[in-house]
Amino acid sequence: MKLLKFFLALGILLNFSNSNAQQKETSNQSILNKKQSITLTYAQQDVIHSKILNEDKSINIFLPEGFHKSSERHTYPVLMLLENEFFHMVSGVVKHLSSVERMPETIVVSLTDGAHIPKLYTNGSDFWPKDWKQLPFGGNPDPFTAYLKEELFLYLKENYRANDFRMVLGLSTTSIYPLHAFAKETDLFDVYIGIASGDILGMGYKDGESFIDVFISQFEKDKSLYNNKYLYLTSSDSDDRNGSHKIKDNLESLEKRLSSYRSPNFKFISKTFPNEGHYDLALPALHEALNMVFPNERWSAKYRDIIEKPGTAMENLDNHFQKSSTEYGFKILPRAERWNSVNRLSWIGPNLLKQGNAAEAIEVIERWVEYSPKSTLALNELAKAYEANKQFDKAISALEKIYKISSNLDELEWNEYQTLINQWREKVNKQN
């Protein structure tokens, strides 16, 4: 009887415990009830037909955040990625660095099926099977190169305002094409990046002839081919196997043999990366490569310091960015808008107005409107600046443009704008 009472009590306790747990679970479910699920899209895929290759080609495209709001004056460099696996990572790094103005806003294009690469001799590389005198894959890369030159680059220019500053990035096997292009197609890209590429560097088109030999031969023939070019090659120290140092030796050999050609017109890095895995290397190497091309001292512009120089604010900003444009060969513009930073026209202009400098404020804000013609905020600030300068007719025109371009003004907001416009029209009539 005592045993029966024990089990009855235990059953009641367990039921009570389960009931409490269920109540808590139900309570938690009600607190965490999903109300909405939204798919976030940050990139797109275009399928285009190549007449040269006679096939459809899929490309993933990441566009700068301000692409659809910016004026036609904004053009963008292209970073072409040959290893689609890293598209998210590369796009994220580019988005972040460009958002803090450590590099220009850039289009990232990933070729989903990679590049057509030449067939190479392994030259004794111990990274591949020993019986591979040649890689068992590869062929004639020339049709693929023609596809890039005559079709893809033109497509990006016509549809996405791409400019002629181009970067190419390959990892491991896909780094073969950047090395090939650097050796044979020097007008194709401005920046050549090969990550986990140290073994490829020792291979070549001929038995016993490495890419290193071909590079040096090209520089000896005509080093002007490499004016304003950048080369970044690296591998992890873990890629050297069985006590071999062939990959390290390849990278050090290129550094030694090419160092006499290093100059302000040609920058390169050839190094072994310590304490990283073969593909783990992708993130730190990409950051280092981009910093070589877009160094901090050139790209972290301090707008407030720039406008303090003799001359007007907009003249000084234009002069600063014109120097960068000349150096890189494409038009670089001051940033119109930027998150949480004073280094933007949308902060400089209104701040000049607060200081009582309406004339310079108008010049800066007008440029902001020119760069961001669909920005109602820019037009609103421009109207304030015109009002402060007693240019009421121009202020009215700016406010009227807000209504024309805005699809989300409610009736109350539009009535407020209309009231303000009417008040300023009265002021204009009194002046006349």
pLDDT for the residue 21: 52
Mean local confidence (pLDDT), 348-353: 98
> E-assigned strands of 246-372?
266-273
- 328 pLDDT band, cuts 50/70/90, is very high
- pTM equals 0.89
Dump the DSSP string for 100-139.
Answer: TTSS---EEEEETT----B--B-TT-TTS-TT-SB-SS-B
- Residue 218, both tokens: 């090209």
Is the predicted pLDDT of residue 161 greater than 80, yes or no? yes
Lowest-confidence range among 175-184, 238-247, 277-286, 338-347? 238-247
Which one-letter DSSP state was computed for residue 82?
S
What percentage of residues in the chain have a pLDDT greater than 90? 76
Determine the angle formed by the axes of helices 313-328 and 358-371, rounding to 10 degrees.
Answer: 40
C-alpha to C-alpha distance for 193 and 201, rounded to whole angstroms: 12
Mean pLDDT lowest among 146-150, 380-384, 428-432: 428-432
Please, which residues have CB within 8 angstroms of residue 308's CB and are 6 or more apart in sequence?
none
Mean pLDDT of 274-283: 94
The mean pLDDT value for 117-136 works out to: 91
For helices 313-328 and 345-354, give the axis angle rounded to 10 degrees: 160
Question: Stretch 70-93: mean pLDDT, rounded?
Answer: 97
Q: What is the pLDDT of residues 374-418, one digit of tens each?
A: 898 999 999 999 999 999 999 989 988 887 787 666 667 667 777
Q: Is the pLDDT of residue 105 over 70?
A: yes
Same fold, 44-298 and 302-431: no
Tell me what the pLDDT averaged over the chain comes to. Answer: 90
pLDDT tens string 313-327? 999 999 999 999 999
- Per CATH, the number for 44-298 is 3.40.50.1820
Is residue 35 scored above 70 in pLDDT?
yes
DSSP for 143-168?
Answer: HHHHHIIIIIHHHHHHHH-EEEEEEE
3-state SS class at 212? helix
Quick one: what percent of the chain has pLDDT higher than 70?
90
Closest CA to 94 of 104, 84, 82: 104
Residue 236 pLDDT exceeds 90: yes
* pLDDT(208) > 60: yes
Note the pLDDT of residue 24.
53
Residue 226, CB-side half-sphere exposure with 13 Å CA sphere: 24
Query: Any idea which architecture 302-431 has in CATH?
Result: Alpha Horseshoe (1.25)
- Pair of tokens at residue 13: 């306790």
Cα atoms in the Cβ-side hemisphere of radius 13 Å centred on 250: 31
The residue ranges of every structural domain in the chain are 44-298, 302-431
Kindly tell me if the per-residue pLDDT of 131 is higher than 90.
Answer: no
CB atoms within 10 A of CB 233: 28
